[in-house]
Structures are given as C-alpha cells and as structure tokens.
Structure 1
Amino acid sequence: MASQAPAQQLVTVFGGSGFVGRHVVRALAKRGYRVRVAVRRPDLAGFLQPIGTVGQIHAVQANLRYPASVAAAVKGADAVVNLVGIMQEQGRQGFSAVQANGSRAVAQACAAAGIARLVHVSALGAAAESRSSYARTKAEGEAAVFASVPGAVVLRPSVMFGPEDTFFNRFASMARMLPVLPLVGDGATKFQPAFVGDVAEVVARAIDGTVEGGRVYELGGPEVLSLRQIVEETCRIIGRKRLLAPLPFPLARIMGSVLQFADMLTLGLIPDELVLTRDQVTLLESDNVVSAAAAAEGRDFAGLGIAPTSVEAIVSSYLWRFRKTGQFDTARAN
C-alpha cells in the first residue's frame, strides 16, 4: 500500500473515457486521487471533469499503437490502469495491435518508469489456445503485462452491464427494431454478468494497494444466465414480445462473415446492433463464467469482500428508454 495520501498520487487511466473508464475514473476521484485520462481523443473526454474537483481530472492524448505517447502518459504517475480493449477490428485498430502489443507497451512503459502498481483489465475467456482472436490476444496482453510488471493486478470480468453498456442495450435496441431475434447456438451460452460499478471498485482497491498483486482475478455477478435468459429478460423489461429464433453455429459463422464484410464495404454504415463478426460467434461457443479454481482460491468478488450487484437491481433503471412509451410507461411488463 502506498504511503502517500490519494490526493498526493497521480493515476494514469488508459481508456478512461470509455464505458468502464468513466466508472473507474469516478471511483478513483471519490477516493481523492488525481487522475490523468489517457485517450486517443482527449477533446471528447471533457465530460469526465465534473466527476471530480477542479483540476483533479485531466485528459491527455495517447495511442497504444505509439509507445512514445504511452511513455509520455505514464510519466510522473504513481499508478496506472489499462482498460483499453475492442470487440471488433476496424482499420489499424486490430486485436493484436491494441490488446497484445498495446498492453505490452503500457507494461513496458510502467517498468521503465519504475511504476509497480499496474491494474490491467482483461476479460473472462482469455486463453492463449483460443480459436478466437479476441480471447487469444487478451491472453497475450496478460502475459506481456506480467513479463514487465510481475506484481500487476489482472482482472478478468465477465460481460459487464451498466447504463452505457453494449450488451443489454444492444439486445433492447434489436428488440425495438426487429420482430424476430436470432439466438446464436440456441442461446445456450452461459454468462455471469458483472455490474461495471463493482468492477470499478475492484480497480480502485487495487490502486489503493489492498488487492494482492501478481494474480488474475475473475469477476462475475451473482447470477449465471444463458444468452436466451438474458434476451428474454431484456424483452420483459422493455415490454416487447419477440420471437426468439435459434441460429445454429455453422449458419451464424456464415452470417458473421457476411455481415462483417458488408460493414466494411459500407464503411461502418450498418447499425452496430446488427453487426455480428465471425470472431464473436467463436466466442459464443464457450461459456463466460468464473472458474471453480478462481472461486476456490478467492480470486473473485467474494474473495475480495464484495457482494456483486444483480442484473435485476440495475438493468431496468436504464432500459426504460426502449419501452414503447419510454419513461412514461408505468405498466408492469409481464
């Protein structure tokens, strides 16, 4: 644990303006840390400043593909958080460039600057032998982090939910647009959704120095839900009855390839909610839940003394906008 008070410490957060980032920045600011938000477009990160006091939060330009910018972003920092990750490759923002080489650049910059407190957010399912490029590069990133900063804290959350998520919001948006919702693999894939605020709390505790370093923590919520259950719950919350159609994996892989190619040809004009990639289909072939080993060794929320928040407690508070009459719909969905 650092001897200095939080107000005397500077924490650089890569990807601090994203979905997870804004919650991490809030958790750190509430503790009193000074926060340097390192992002590709600092002009779009101004919304973070009101989270803290005057001068407590400021944004700087950094791109993980350019090590010099990464080194400049960590200069003078006491601790570093890396949240950068992508679900779909676009142009030069590829899985290897961002999740493997980018993570390596952050870790090497920390090592060169003598920064021992590094928190790296990866994802459940990360595995060096995975057929998914997303999962494989996540594992490569973890290995690169430990190679340069052995005492780093690596977090592997399951799919995260919260007001700005791209999971429940995506299914709700699809249900608003489509009369039939396809379920890849008949919706049998299991998830353990984690509330983004709980994950941010773990990140903040790791920066505090109260989370043991050199370990990988798997973070999943209190419920294990199948993809079908998640879509059904989403439709129930927004009050829209939709036909759920099974989409076998072979057909889903073909559809993923076609949609990915079409999205590239149209320069991204296809709505994000309707884009499915072949790599995402591959990810859905494996469950996304906390392992028995992590739970037994205390490398989960329970082991960290955190009671995870349920989907039911949060999701309905932000999916109301997808109801037919929005916030004015007071009728209970059946």
Structure 2
Amino acid sequence: MPYAKLVTIYGGSGFIGRYIARRMAQLGWRVRVAVRRPNDAIWVRPYGVVGQVEPVFCNIRDDESVRDVMRGADAVVNCVGLLAEVGKNTFEAVQTGGAERVARIATELGVPNLVQISAIGADDSARSAYARTKAAGERAVREAYPNAVILRPSIVFGPEDEFFNRFAGMAKMGPILPVVGAGTRFQPVYVDDVAAAAVKGIRGEAEPGTYELGGPDVNTFRELMVYMLSVIRRRKLIVNIPFWIASMMGGAFGLLQRMSFDLISAPLTADQVANLRRDNVVSGDAKTFADLGIEPMSLEAVVPDYLWRFRPSGQYSDIKESAQYLRDNRN
C-alpha cells in the first residue's frame, strides 16, 4: 500500500480550513486538523475514511504545541485568523506571531510546502490593526519560509459564511438594513475556490509567492446587499452609517466587551470600521486565480443555494411563487 501523505491544517475546522481539509481527504491525503478545541471539531472526521481526518489540539501561540502537530507533515496550511480580538487572542499574537511560528517551525522540520491564508488589504500602513498584523504575518512567513504560497482572498462567501448569512439574518428584523461603508468595493470569492488554490500550494503545483484571490465581479457593499435582498425576497431600506458614527459605535461596543470580560461579543469594532474604509479588490499587478489555472465561481452560481432559508416562506418560497403565477394566469 503506498504511503499516504500528511497535511497539517492550523484552523482546519474554520470556514476556509474545512474546505481545504475536505479536498485533501478526497485526494487521499491524511489530514491533521489543528484546533484549540478538538472535541468541537469531530465533525471533520467523515471527510475521509476512518482515521484519515483527525482533529488534534493546538495552541498557535505556543512553539511546542505547533511543533507537535507538525511533525511528519508533508505540507502545512495556516488558516488561523481573527475578525476581532478576544482575551489573549490578539491580532498581534495570532496573525503575526502565529504565522511566524508556523513558518519558522516548518523550516526547522523541513516541511516541503507551506500555504499561508492572509487577506486582501494586508498593509503595513493601514489604519486597521487587522490589516497591519496580516501584513506583518506575511512578512514573517516570507522571511522564515521564502518558498511559501501566500493567498489573499477578498471577502469569502459560502454556506457557512459570516457575511451574507449575517446580513440576511438582520434583514428578517425591521424595515431597515444598516451598513457601514456602503460605497466600499469588494470582490467576493467562493470559499471552495480559495480551497482549490490552497490545494495547489499544498501539492507544490503553485509557484511560491503571493496571490490575490477575487471572484469574477466587483461590487460595492450596497450592491451586495441589494443582491442579497433580491435572493431572500425581502424589501428593506439600506441605510449607510457614516464612518465617524460607526467608529464611535465600535468603540462603545468594544468597551462593553472589555467590561464584560469578553462575555459579550461586540457586533462591530472600531478596527472593523477602519478596515471598511478601504476597497477590498484584487490589485492590477497581482498574481491571481488565472496564474493557478482556476476559474472562480460567481455569486449567482452559489449564494441562492444557501440563502433560501431567509426567505419569508423558506424552502416553500419558489412553490408559493409558482402557485401565485398559475392563479394570475387563470385570472
């Protein structure tokens, strides 16, 4: 029986990580899913045959913990990232320190391939700490592991996303849908396309370097919300919250979170507001999906398949519309 290669995926039960894990299992690799709470990630096991996909404990802030789960790996992927800081899991500790640690130890152990999941907008001079620490993490990875493949996706969509699902849920309540940065441009990318790009890096089929990953369309935040509302068959007034007001709201929410010792999560942070001030699209001179031989999926091909549950009649919405159409024709 041929030797089955092993990939360690840090954050492998997260949104992007789970899709990478599934693809690698389908290719016959053994998959080690490194997470903080393995018992909460046992649902990844059915991605492969018995024993092929295993969640294991790892604290990305600790050298020995990272090293233990990397031993014997033929490839490593770091998907760990934060949308907001909680306790010891700060942007600096996770997105910079964690990325440096994974890359440094991968070099020490002689791991053949490393993929780092970053984000479009990573920039040392950004207002957002999220973006600055992503950039610092990329720099640390390149210094410790020069042949790394770094992937920078725009906003990622898919059945488990925290973007369309979040705003579709908000649209079920009240006549207004508030947004921050309605004019900010995004280039939404399907999560499984990002996973396909990561697989190229894992298997050594991608040239080392940084790739910016965006879907086929560029839309403003407002345009994305209009499209989302059309998919879920709801009419709402989209109201743009000015950045200065949103910044104060984010600061207040952040204070509330700190005062509750992180028991209450801030629905909006000042750092997220700062990040929304900048467009989130592929730059003109970047390596892209085209350089990987991947044609990305459009929003229209995916989003309706998972947002139907937010329609007024849920799964019966299309049936009711068809029935109404028949009644109208008879009349």
Range of TM-score over shorter length? over 0.9
| Among 5, 8, 20, the residue aligned to 1:9 | 5
Secondary structure at the aligned position of 1:119 is classed as strand
Q: Distance in 1 between matches of 2:254 and 2:175?
A: 22
Letter in 2 for 1:259: F
Output one character per residue of 1:133-187: Cα deviation in whole Å (capped at 9) or x when no partner: 00000011111111111000000000100000001111101111232122223x0
| Among 37, 49, 53, the residue aligned to 1:53 | 49
Kindly tell me the number of residue pairs found equivalent between the two proteins. 321
Secondary structure at the aligned position of 1:244 is classed as strand
Q: Is contact 2:200–2:292 with CA below 8 Å preserved after alignment?
A: no
1:200 aligns with 2:195: yes
Q: Is contact 1:35–1:58 with CA below 8 Å preserved after alignment?
A: yes
Shift of 1:230: 0.8
- Structure 1: 4+ residue segments shifted above 3 A: 263-270
Q: Distance in 1 between matches of 2:36 and 2:230?
A: 38
Q: Distance in 1 between matches of 2:171 and 2:44?
A: 31
Output one character per residue of 1:58-77: Cα deviation in whole Å (capped at 9) or x when no partner: 11110111111001010111
Counterpart for residue 329 of structure 1: 317
**Share of identical aligned residues, percent?**
48
Output one character per residue of 1:173-207: Cα deviation in whole Å (capped at 9) or x when no partner: 1111232122223x000000000000000111111
- Write out aligned runs for 1:256-275 (5 A): 256-266=250-260, 275=267
TM-score (norm 1): 0.92
Q: Which runs of 5+ in 1 are unaligned?
A: none
- Write out aligned runs for 1:298-313 (5 A): 299-313=287-301
Q: Distance in 2 between matches of 1:303 and 1:151?
A: 16
- Write out aligned runs for 1:131-280 (5 A): 131-185=127-181, 187-213=182-208, 215-266=209-260, 275-280=267-272
Letter in 2 for 1:203: A
1:125 aligns with 2:117: no
| Among 27, 32, 38, the residue aligned to 1:31 | 27
| Among 91, 97, 112, the residue aligned to 1:95 | 91
Choose 1 or 2 for highest CA Rg.
2
Letter in 1 for 2:237: L
Counterpart for residue 81 of structure 2: 85
Secondary structure at the aligned position of 2:167 is classed as helix
Shift of 1:266: 4.4
Shift of 1:78: 1.0
Secondary structure at the aligned position of 2:82 is classed as coil
1:111 aligns with 2:107: yes
Shift of 1:325: 1.9
Shift of 1:263: 3.5
TM-score (norm 2): 0.93
Q: Is contact 1:184–1:249 with CA below 8 Å preserved after alignment?
A: yes
Output one character per residue of 1:189-229: Cα deviation in whole Å (capped at 9) or x when no partner: 0000000000000111111111001x100000000010001
1:317 aligns with 2:312: no
